[in-house]
């Protein structure tokens, strides 16, 4: 594991620096909370740990299939899109850590 110290406005480049896979930017630090921005291709899934674990326990149904009767979608998720999509690099709107690319 790599541990880094960054300040607000600084970035971490993931992958080849000439053609990065993505960039993580420290948007804001307020008390014990850090706001991050993820700039990755849409096909790269980005989830908070607790949401990733929930999705691993209860995989989404195949695209085009209806959910099982009596099943409830995960809180904060959009069953039609498979999750909340954030705008990469955006500091407002849906949180980028909830971005999922499942159709």
Q: Where are the domains of the chain?
A: 11-59+76-98
The set of residues, in sequence order, having a beta carbon less than 8 Å from that of 73 and lying 6+ positions away, is: 67, 79
Write down the pLDDT at residue 81. 36
φ/ψ of residue 88, rounded to 5: -55, 135
Q: Is the pLDDT of residue 23 over 60?
A: yes
pLDDT tens profile 49-87 = 999 999 999 887 777 766 555 555 544 444 333 333 444
Residue range 6-13: mean pLDDT, rounded? 97
40 neighbors 87 (Cβ within 8 angstroms): no
Q: How many whole angstroms separate alpha carbon 98 and alpha carbon 53?
A: 13
| pLDDT level of residue 32 (50, 70, 90 thresholds) | very high
pLDDT tens profile 90-102 = 344 444 445 554 4
Size of the chain in residues: 103
Q: How many whole angstroms separate alpha carbon 59 and alpha carbon 38?
A: 24
Write down the pLDDT at residue 62. 72
């Amino acid at each position: 594991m790599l541990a880094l110290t960054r300040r607000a406005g600084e970035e971490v480049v993931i992958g080849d620096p000439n053609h990065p896979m993505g960039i993580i930017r420290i948007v804001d630090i307020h008390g014990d909370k850090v706001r991050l921005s993820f700039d990755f291709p849409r096909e790269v899934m980005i989830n908070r740990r607790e949401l990733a674990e929930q999705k691993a326990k209860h995989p989404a149904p195949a695209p085009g299939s209806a959910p099982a009767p009596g099943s409830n979608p995960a809180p904060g998720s959009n069953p039609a899109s498979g999750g909340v999509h954030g705008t990469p690099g955006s500091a407002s709107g849906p949180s980028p850590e909830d971005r999922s690319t499942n159709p």
